[in-house]
Structure 1
Amino acid sequence: MNEIRNIYCVGRNYRLHAEELGNAVPTSPFLFSKPTHALVEANGQLIELPGNKGEVHYEAEVVLHIARPYEPGMKIEEAVDKMALGIDFTLRDVQSELKKKSHPWLKAKGFPNSAVLTSFHPFPGMIACQETDFSLVKNGETVQQGNTRDMLFDMQTIVEFTAEHFGLGSGDIIYTGTPAGVGPVADGDKLELLFGIERWGECVISLK
């Protein structure tokens, strides 16, 4: 975790997720960021989240790790060395109020422990990644399941766009967007992140 630098997140990158929240489907990648204080590894422990700011929603995602500074024309397999699964936790009620005021989302997205991350695994390549679904299991029930082939903007496009507009270097990570099925967590919920049938990480929620 210590070597991670910038945390980029792609919003509304699955059509059904954008529609389930009543958002317009974007025509170009839509990015926001989180501070590194938001990072926490899902290694089976209790993860504390705010319990006094309205609903806290889970958003499971594939996360890319950048191995080297991006150069124009670089293929994603040259830039990305490993991947993980993550949860972009969101204070949904706070976010709704911020949207009404046309304010940035940082208070709803950047709080401590809002960027959950599993252990990293070798990146198999963009096409090979599409052969396997990823999922979030809550208290034994699958609540989200997705596949990167359903992204509005594929991994190559995301990497190129991020590099062009913000810069992309060694140690940066990109949360690539969440499929439909987001919802609230409750105190004591057990969350498991799976790639195919492999459990990559898990945690238990503590709302404080």
Structure 2
Amino acid sequence: MIRNVYCVGRNYKLHAQELGNDVPDEPMIFMKPSHAVVSLEESVLALPADQGEIHYEGEIVLHIAQEYETGIQVNELVDQMALGIDFTLRDVQNVIKKKGHPWTAAKGFKSSAPITSFIPFPGTDAILKQDFTVIKNGIEVQRGNVSDMIFSLQDIVEYIGTHYGLGEGDIIFTGTPAGVGPTVSGDKFELFWGEDQLGSCVIA
């Protein structure tokens, strides 16, 4: 069962730049309701189409296996990983950012955090050797690698664990690389870990 859903904002420098955002000095954490998590196994997703542009943001998702303790390493704490999409109501987000309001309205809507099936976490060394990609309507739109993150996986779990707590069943969306963009009804997304497709969906 999924418990807390943590997300890391602006964790790839090129993504921060493409949206005109400053690169953060420490991990920028926000949350989504667990109800936002749905399957990416050939799913059909209904997203709110009446609130402006919806953007896709492909990400690596970590699954936490046990309670966080100071000094614990990622390889001990994380047992599985998946790929996911952080869907964002971009027009809504732009307005609430200017007002200084919380991001929940733009990030926490139903089906805004679809994830693939989990696979065994390969470890912090092996994960650096593999890219993940987001394919939209047959065209690669995003490619990411953990090595391109501003904050490492260890930085992320230490920050979240220290400030908010981490426990079994929590998941972490670790940030998105450059290439985010809008989606509309009929778009098909396929998420690949290397050559292996882990999940897909069609926007209703």
TM-score normalised to the size of structure 1?
A: 0.97
| Aligned ranges 1:178-189 → 2 under 5 Å | 178-189=176-187
CA distance in 1, matches of 2:71, 2:17: 33
Q: What is the deviation of 1:53?
A: 0.3
* Displacement after TM superposition at 1:45 (Å): 1.9
State the alpha-carbon separation in 1 of the partners of residues 160 and 126 from structure 2: 22
Q: 1:118 aligns with which of 116, 119, 141?
A: 116
Q: Hey, what's the Cα distance between the residues in 2 that align with 1:80 and 1:204? A: 29
Find the counterpart in structure 2 of residue 9 from structure 1.
7
**Deviation digits for residues 179-208 of structure 1 (CA, Å, limit 9, x no counterpart):** 0000000100010000001000000001xx
SS of the counterpart of 2:46?
strand
Aligned to 2:56: 58
Partner of 1:98: 96
Alignment of 1:101-180 (within 5 A): 101-180=99-178
Hey, what's the Cα distance between the residues in 1 that align with 2:141 and 2:67?
36
For structure 1, list consecutive stretches of 5 or more residues without a partner in the other structure.
none
82, 85, 98: which is aligned to 2:83?
Answer: 85
Superposition pairs for residues 181-200 of structure 1, below 5 Å?
A: 181-200=179-198
* Residue 71 of structure 1: aligned partner: 69
Q: Aligned residues: percent identity?
A: 59
Deviations for 1:52-100, whole angstroms, at most 9, x for unmatched residues?
0000000000000000001111111100000000000000000000011
Structure 2: which 5+ runs fail to align? Answer: none
Q: Distance in 2 between matches of 1:58 and 1:196?
A: 19
- Local SS of the residue matching 1:23: coil
Match of residue 18 from structure 1: 16
Structure 2: which amino acid aligns with 1:167? G
State the one-letter code of the partner of 1:180: A
Distance in 1 between residues matched to 2:150 and 2:41, nearest whole Å: 30
- RMSD of the alignment, in Å? 0.5
What amino acid is the match of 1:156? Q
Distance 1:148 1:57 in 2: 21
Please say which of residues 7-16 and 39-48 is displaced more in the overlay: 39-48
2:36 aligns with: 38
What is residue 28 of structure 1 aligned with on the other side?
26
Counterpart code for 2:39: E
Task: Please state how far the C-alpha of 1:131 moved relative to its aligned partner.
Answer: 0.3
Tell me the amino acid that sits aligned with residue 30 of structure 2.
F
Question: How many Å separate the matches in 2 of 1:82 and 1:45?
Answer: 21
Q: Please tell me the residue identity of whatever aligns with 1:19.
A: Q
- Shift in Å at residue 119 of structure 1? 0.2
Q: How far 1:8 moved relative to its partner? A: 0.1
1:43 partner letter: E
Q: Aligned equivalents of 2:163 and 2:179: distance in 1?
A: 30
Structure 1 residue ranges (4+ consecutive) displaced by more than 3 angstroms after TM superposition: none
Q: TM-score w.r.t. structure 2 length?
A: 0.99
Whole-angstrom distance in 2 between the partners of 1:32 and 1:126: 23
Select the structure that is richer in strand: 1
